């Protein structure tokens, strides 16, 4: 099963990109997690996730989103590879299947 659920903050503004010949909306979501290091000090770990949406979710993101907006996203992990200067790079993104703007 390929299922992802994220609650985080929208970073920047969504942008329209072309994937597989079709337009979709791409944006970044940051999530935070409390971590205790070896010294016993609690710190926050911040991770950035690239998410993209098709159809109605793309229209909702473009119309109603703003930077620092809290969002909840459900979707699936999508991996793809690109070639650049003879090297292969793996990219991981999340395709939105459901979205809640908070």
Residue 73, φ and ψ in degrees, nearest 5: -125, 135
Distance CA(25)–CA(57), nearest Å, equals: 9
Handedness of CA 35, 76, 14, 80 (dihedral sign): positive
User: Residue 25 contacts by C-beta under 8 Å, 6 or more apart in sequence?
Assistant: 14, 15, 16, 17, 52, 53, 57, 58, 61, 62
Full-model pTM: 0.83
Using one digit for the tens of pLDDT, what is the confidence trace for 38-89? 999 999 999 999 999 998 999 999 998 888 899 999 999 999 898 999 999 9
Residue 20 has pLDDT above 80, yes or no: no
């Amino acid at each position: 099963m390929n299922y992802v659920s994220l609650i985080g903050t929208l970073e920047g503004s969504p942008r329209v990109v072309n994937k597989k010949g079709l337009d979709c909306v791409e944006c970044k979501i940051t999530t935070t997690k409390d971590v205790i290091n070896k010294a016993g000090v609690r710190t926050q770990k911040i991770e950035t996730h690239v998410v993209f949406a098709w159809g109605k979710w793309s229209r909702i993101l473009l119309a109603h989103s703003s930077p620092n907006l809290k969002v909840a996203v459900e979707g699936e992990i999508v991996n793809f590879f690109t070639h650049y200067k003879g090297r292969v790079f793996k990219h991981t993104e999340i395709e939105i299947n459901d979205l809640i703007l908070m």
